[in-house]
Amino acid sequence: MPPSFRDSVQAIWRAGVEAVLPGRLIRQTLSFEGDPNGAAAVTVQNEKFSLPPSGKVIVVGMGKASCAMAAGTEEVLEPLVKAGRLTGWVNVPADAVIPLNAVHPHAGRPAGLNEPTEEGVAGSLRIEALIKEASADDLILALISGGGSALAPLPVPEITLAEKVLVTRLLSGAGANIEELNTVRKQLSRIKGGGLRRLARGKRLAALILSDVLGDPLDVIASGATVPNTTTAADALAVLKQFGLDRHAGLKNVCAALEKRARASSSEPDSETGYENHRNLIIANNRTAVDAAVRKAKQLGFCAFGESAPQSEPDVALVAGSLISEMQQRMKLPRPGPAALISGGEPTVTLAPPAIRGKGGRNTQLVLLALIEALRNPERFPSRFALLSGGTDGEDGPTDAAGAFFDDTFLARFAQLGAGGLAAAQGAAGRNDSYTFFAENGGLLRSGATGTNVCDLRVLLFSPELEREVRSG
């Protein structure tokens, strides 16, 4: 049996994250051959793109992992870097900026603020210019990962950046999932919703995509910059109406822009002419991280089970309850030794009113809700357990933590506070103040920016019920 569930739960989570680190993934995907000063070729997975002597590799990127992806690209294509035949620009969060040789890493937003900024707009204009300048002999490598929507803002002329930020805030606060958010955002952008694809029409484009959307829908990841837009302006208006935002005074111009596009049918699918040399490749996803975490759990002696949600998950409270219920069901099975339930996904959170809202994210909120259940119904939990939930990007909402964790030792200590402890936990959950709660009581998971992003990874370790009965008998 592992000596420490607390250590094991963190080691398993880290193994899942390490499996989706961009450098490793890029080295598995790209290769180079030929004369760096003459005819050469870049192979993307199994497809070879020839580079005549006049051809260059132009790297553009957007997302939390794009800088690390660019570093891996420079490593693999080092001969072209030295020959001056590789250039580029990537928009990333400030805490994901790392030194690069040929590609410019641009801080498109501050750390912990997952919203569009004027700095992001400036970087997006540079990306737009690079693609326009590319020739038919060049190869455009688009490095795309989660967070790309906020990092590559380039609003349509009818609206301002502030209006685009407002609509995103309002939808997020109302509980919209990532698909609903992107349905609206990509209709309001010159890059997203197939905008980058249209800019590269008639040119060669290979998009390497680190998926942060469950089910890997290419038109949703980073708002589908390199693929045809499968949603329309009418769909975006329907999302706003669904959440009661179609009559919001601050969204007047947004609604007008969408209505104009809907009337003009400007969101119809693109013709495929000119896109024959475009490729989109998923290089890793949430399932990749879950599978690696399962392997690590087995190495540590756990009987491990893994599941990656195929689509956006429901409210975080339902996900927390489902995890506990699955643990209970598996504790009834005649299986010796400790077990691990490893899951990946991305639940939604309905936010408290701004006047009382605290600090936290969906991962810390999930763990806090599980803790409340354990305090209210301790009989549902075995004698030994640990639960951790963390964002694989190292960010959980507007905080410096990836998530949180607690175990049986934490529960026993906190339970000693009695009704006051339960009330404090419930109050924090009601205010969405889960980060503050764990900062004060212990249990924050601080990994720092990981340079990757494939949704959330959760690890639940527990002793089977049979072991509990033997120990208490």
Is pLDDT above 70 for 469?
no
Contact between 228 and 273 (Cβ < 8 Å)? no
What does the DSSP assignment read for 90-112? EEEEGGG----SSEEEEEEE-TT
Is pLDDT above 50 for 245?
yes
Helix (H) or strand (E) holding 207: strand 204-210
Is pLDDT above 60 for 204?
yes
Hey, which CATH number is domain 5-14+287-472, 2.40.160.10, 3.50.50.60, 3.40.1480.10, 3.40.50.800?
A: 3.40.1480.10
Phi, psi of 193 (to 5 degrees): 60, 40
**Whether the predicted model's global pTM rises above the 0.95 cut:** no
Same fold yes or no, 5-14+287-472 and 21-154+189-230+269-284: no
Phi, psi of 31 (to 5 degrees): -150, 160
The pLDDT confidence band at residue 337, using thresholds 50, 70 and 90, is confident
Is pLDDT above 50 for 426?
yes
- We find that the CATH architecture of domain 21-154+189-230+269-284 is 3-Layer(aba) Sandwich (3.40)
- Give the number of C-alpha atoms closer than 13 A to the C-alpha of residue 97, restricted to the C-beta side: 14
**Over the stretch 355-405, which tens digit does the pLDDT of each residue have?**
999 999 999 999 999 999 999 999 889 989 999 999 999 989 889 999 999
The pLDDT confidence band at residue 336, using thresholds 50, 70 and 90, is low
Who wins on pLDDT, 319 or 332?
Answer: 319
Percent of the chain topping pLDDT 90: 78
Phi, psi of 57 (to 5 degrees): -105, 125
CB-count burial class (<10 Å; 0-12, 13-18, 19+) for 276: exposed
Task: Measure CA of the first residue to CA of the last residue in the chain; give whole Å.
Answer: 20
- Cβ count near 329 (within 10 Å): 9
What secondary structure letter does DSSP report for 380?
G
Q: Rounded CA gap, 130 and 143, in Å?
A: 14
Q: Rounded CA gap, 434 and 438, in Å?
A: 6
Q: Rounded CA gap, 137 and 182, in Å?
A: 33
CA-based nearest residue to 142, from 79, 85, 210, 193: 210
Domains of the chain by residue range? 5-14+287-472, 21-154+189-230+269-284
Percent of the chain topping pLDDT 70: 95
**Over the stretch 25-52, which tens digit does the pLDDT of each residue have?**
999 999 999 999 999 999 999 999 999 9
Distance of CA 170 to the CA centre of its chain: 20
